Amino acid sequence: MKPLWRIADLIDLEYLLHLDDDVIEEKGQDALRRRDRDIYLHLIESEGEEEGKSNPALLLNKWLKSRQKKLMEQDDGAPLPGKLWSELYRIFRWGLLLLGLLSGTGLAFSFLTYSGSEPVNVSVYLGLFVGVQVLLLALFGAASLYRLLLRLDLHSSVLYVLLSRLIVRIVLRLRKYAGNKLNGRQRLQMASAMGLIREKAHTHGSLFLWPMFSLVQILALSFNIGVLAATLLKVIGADIAFGWQSTLQVSEQFVFTLVQSIALPWSWFVPVSIAYPSLAQIEGSQMVLKEGIYHLATQNLVSWWPFLCLAVLFYGLLPRLALFFVGLIGERRNLARLQFRGTAHRQLLQRMTTPRVSSQALRTVHVEQPFSPNPPHQNEPKIKKKPQVVVPKNQVARHATITLIPDELYDQCPLNTLQGLVQERLGVAVHETLRTGEEYADDQLVFDQLAKKNRKSTIKNIIILQEAWQPPIQEFFSFLEKLRTLLGSDVPLVVALVGKPDSNTIFTPVKKEDLKIWRDNIRALGYPDLQVSELVAA
């Protein structure tokens, strides 16, 4: 069965979601809501597929196909990043295949050069073309078993680390080269782009590791094919002799037993005369330096080549072929397991499946529930409230979230208005609210409460309310870093922005330039599943 998603499609999905950030900054979220709702009504609901309406992966795939088709028409067939990835991957695949064939054939031909005075040493052939590969496979198996037993994450993979370092070095060189030629705004945009790369590498890193793993197996496969081809061509087209020798006092019986053990994978179905040399042939092919080779019989010297070819086949080619299929299966399984639980995916699904509501209806909610801006009476003692939890009654939420509200906004934040905006904009339901930013000790208390809740039951979402007209500061970034460290990378974080408060409400639209600044700064952090969203439509 053909998988629903491919890596190229996933790249295009992330790219198009990134482009939607620019649409929000230029035209606002309502433009996205209209576009995505129309796509849903036209492609999914009109087709009457009940399964598609409840399957996020299928919904997103249909949305992606629609957007790909439209962009290809608008840009006169300009390729999307997914197609570029496919083309580059195909080039790398054929390039590594050719490299492996050339290197394997060239190395084997140079080693099998026979002058007529000294046979090819069987021990060196086995050590070079079989032993090295067996050692590499054993190291890979041991490392994989070690990671599996200790449940280590992707960052413990040697291949992932090497590829990551290579990419980081290239990026740093480009950034250093371009950094001196850019102004402050352009440097912020570059930092934002680098952060986006780090975020997606963390989110989809394991998925992209499988294609790299398959490329390594293609290189090893073609190398073994080249070695086998060169050996067979030499045997067919030239008079080549094989022998063995050792400085150690090794008996012929020991060598025969060792050869029998090596031939176990194929000796049960291959005729014994071909599977490995007999004891007599091993005795007759032993080279003694002072005696030369003229006393050795030809039938003994040529008895080794089937055994050597079978050793390369069973210890080099077939294991790599099996690992290649493991890579393909691993890639397909990872693609089939895509959950699309990220904030951007959830917001897209929300825009598609939620009927459009007039923004005027929302504004009436703000007017109906004004807050009193008057300060408390001077004679009343001012009691500082500790972080508190508000649990709405009869709250049934598919995606419950905890909302963190700064101290200066907490008392002016009507809960039902907040719930309506969060439900409409972010597709989640406010289940609890916590006051933050009173002082360091109180923030630590918030972290302790969140850690306790996360131990009891995994926190689904965190929303952090912020005023967009105030620029992000280092203190807020430190707060985000502690929050991400505490909850891990699997809990979606959304920085929900509101504009400058007026006399009636704190829920005012965000200016485009403020939204752009916040997006670039937050994205530059490179944290997985951390997004910025305006809470009120302009």
pLDDT for 35-91, tens place per residue? 888 888 887 666 655 555 668 888 888 899 988 888 877 766 667 778 888 888 899
**Token digits for 106?**
């060239």
Q: What are phi and psi of 287, to 5 degrees?
A: -95, 135
SS3 276: coil
Q: What are phi and psi of 497, to 5 degrees?
A: -100, 140
Q: What are phi and psi of 412, to 5 degrees?
A: -105, 15
R_g of the chain, CA atoms, integer Å: 33
**Token digits for 533?**
């969203």
Q: What is the second-level CATH architecture of the domain 357-371+396-534?
A: 3-Layer(aba) Sandwich (3.40)
Residues of the chain with pLDDT under 70: 1, 44-54, 75-78, 114-117, 152-206, 247-248, 288-296, 356-399, 439-442, 457, 526, 528, 538
Distances, alpha carbon 338 to alpha carbons 286, 335, 346, 347, 503, in Å: 59, 5, 13, 16, 46
Domain spans, the chain: 117-336, 357-371+396-534
What is the C-alpha to C-alpha distance for residues 7 and 287, in angstroms, rounded to an integer? 55
**Who contacts 93 (Cβ-Cβ below 8 Å, separation ≥6)?**
215, 218
Give strand pairing partners of 403.
433, 463
Closest C-alpha among 40, 67, 68 to residue 55? 40
pTM: 0.71
**E strand or H helix at 37:** helix 29-39
**E strand or H helix at 398:** none
Pairing of the two strands 530-534 and 493-498: parallel
Catalogue the E-assigned strands of 65-145. 120-121
DSSP 151: T
CA angle 32, 37, 40 (to 5 degrees): 130
What is the C-alpha to C-alpha distance for residues 442 and 13, in angstroms, rounded to an integer? 40
Order the strands of the 400-406 sheet from edge to edge: 429-436, 400-406, 462-467, 493-498, 530-534
260 contacts 276 by C-beta, under 8 angstroms: yes
pLDDT for 104 equals 94
SS3 130: helix
Pairing of the two strands 429-436 and 400-406: parallel
Q: In 3-state terms, the chain is what percent helix, strand and coil (to 5)?
A: 65, 5, 30
435 contacts 410 by C-beta, under 8 angstroms: yes
Place of tokens 């290649």: 324
pLDDT for 91 equals 92
pLDDT for 103 equals 95
Closest C-alpha among 326, 88, 84, 85 to residue 220? 326
**Who contacts 34 (Cβ-Cβ below 8 Å, separation ≥6)?**
356
16 contacts 348 by C-beta, under 8 angstroms: no
SS3 277: coil
**Other CB atoms closer than 10 Å to residue 115's CB: what's the count?**
6
